[in-house]
Amino acid sequence: MRLFALLVVVIVFCETPFIATAQSSGQSSQAAKPAVKESRHLTNLRQITFGGDNAEAYFGANGQAISFQSNNPKWGLQCDQIFYLPLADSLKMRDSAYRPARISTGRGRTTCSYIMPDGKHVLFGSTHRTDSVCTPMPVVTKPEYLKKYLWAVHRTYDIYVAALDGNNMKPLATTSGYDAEATISPKGDKIVFTSDRSGDLELWTMNVDGTNQKQITSGLGYDGGAFFSPDGKQLVFRASRPTTPEEIAEYKELLSMGLVAPTNMEIYTCNVDGSNLRQITHLGKANWAPFFHPSGKKIIFASNHHSTRGYDFQLYMVNTDGTGLEQITGESIFNAFPMFSPDGKKLIFSSNRSNGGTRDTNLFIADWVD
């Protein structure tokens, strides 16, 4: 990942590119940090991608393929596009001449892909309908915001579904505002996504054909990155909840600029209809990218709550009642976007480990041991 002195940079965090400013000098992902032993849960770790920023890798229903987003410059990319990779072909990724099948158009920015239940189509967010090149980042001019970590909320994002060869593309959610961060229920009946169509960044659901779109959260703050529980009855997501007048004013002003500050987020769950809303973590700092353990009784997520520097994201797991916090990763300073395979035997995630001192973030897959 990229942190440069007094320089605005872009990093993909699913839903949104990450605008970061920092006063300290640039730091490699190999920067020294206290060694923490990796969890016993991870064995046979294997790197899948080799270059650029790669993230949001999610298994299809049969666990034999993934969709993901990448800006790998070796593939002629300047900003993220969506790709589909059968895991049987993953060893081919070591060949710099190999490129997996691209699902998106190659225009605009894309984010948050998910393989449809039929295994023949991929769901994703894209700005290509409006933008032929990489969507420009919002301009930040206020001095108090120039040193903040900010995510861009591009209002030209819409949600699409396309065949594995990128053809037969169909729009599912195309309001004039931000529609993105879509994932699919294991039951194959519902899609959850984030939208600002009601004036705030809330969770919405719709049928897999795009019909019956309903708002299900309403608390002021950013609700996003939602995933269904294994039984399809609950959702887990990240949320910011500004409370003081100053926090509320800042949140609303940034949102009006197409930005959010993701430095204070906690993990929440709710029923698919929005009822039984519960805050799971109370850790402080940024807790995000949650995903249910196959048992439905635990949640894995990324967090920097332990960090003294702020930028040190590791994977943690917690019980759904908020107890039993357990650290899963300890290597490198960025680990995020974890997802279990449907059978619970593998975990895929993004990390900037083993990148040879570059600033690349790659996909890794491991066998999972409960």
In a domain, 3, yes or no: no
CB 290 within 8 A of CB 264: no
pLDDT band, very low/low/confident/very high, at 147 (cuts 50, 70, 90): confident
Distance, CA of 342 to CA of 161 (rounded, Å) = 21
Torsion angle of C-alpha atoms 295, 87, 125, 8, degrees rounded to 10: 100
In a domain, 1, yes or no: no
Residue-wise DSSP of 275-328: -S-EE-----SBEEEEEE-TTSSEEEEEE-TT-SSS--BEEEEEETTS---EE-
Q: Residue holding tokens 């298994």?
A: 59
pLDDT at residue 337 above 50?
yes
Q: Over the stretch 114-141, which tens digit does the pLDDT of each residue have?
A: 999 999 999 999 999 999 999 999 999 9
Distance, CA of 22 to CA of 147 (rounded, Å) = 6
In a domain, 364, yes or no: yes
Q: Whose CA is closest to 362, among 18, 130, 52, 30?
A: 52
Distance, CA of 217 to CA of 127 (rounded, Å) = 24
Domain count, the chain: 1
Residue 5 in 3-state DSSP?
strand
Residue 53: domain span: 9-368
The three-point CA angle 12-48-58 to 5° equals 55
Distance, CA of 117 to CA of 104 (rounded, Å) = 18
For 244, list phi and psi in degrees, rounded to 5.
Answer: -80, 160
Give residue 22's pLDDT.
34
pLDDT at residue 18 above 80?
no
Distance, CA of 160 to CA of 206 (rounded, Å) = 13
Q: Over the stretch 210-228, which tens digit does the pLDDT of each residue have?
A: 999 999 999 999 999 999 9
Give residue 305's pLDDT.
96
Q: Residue holding tokens 């049969």?
A: 62
Question: Would you state the structure tokens that stand for residue 38, as one six-digit string?
Answer: 């990796």
pLDDT at residue 238 above 50?
yes
Q: Whose CA is closest to 290, among 358, 226, 350?
A: 226
In a domain, 4, yes or no: no
CB 227 within 8 A of CB 235: yes
What does pTM read for this prediction? Answer: 0.91
pLDDT band, very low/low/confident/very high, at 311 (cuts 50, 70, 90): confident
Query: How many other C-beta atoms lie within 10 A of the C-beta of residue 188?
Result: 12
Element (DSSP H or E) covering residue 204: strand 202-207
Residue 362 in 3-state DSSP?
strand
Q: Whose CA is closest to 233, among 275, 173, 281?
A: 275
In a domain, 2, yes or no: no
CATH, residue 52: 2.120.10.30
- CA end-to-end span of the chain: 30
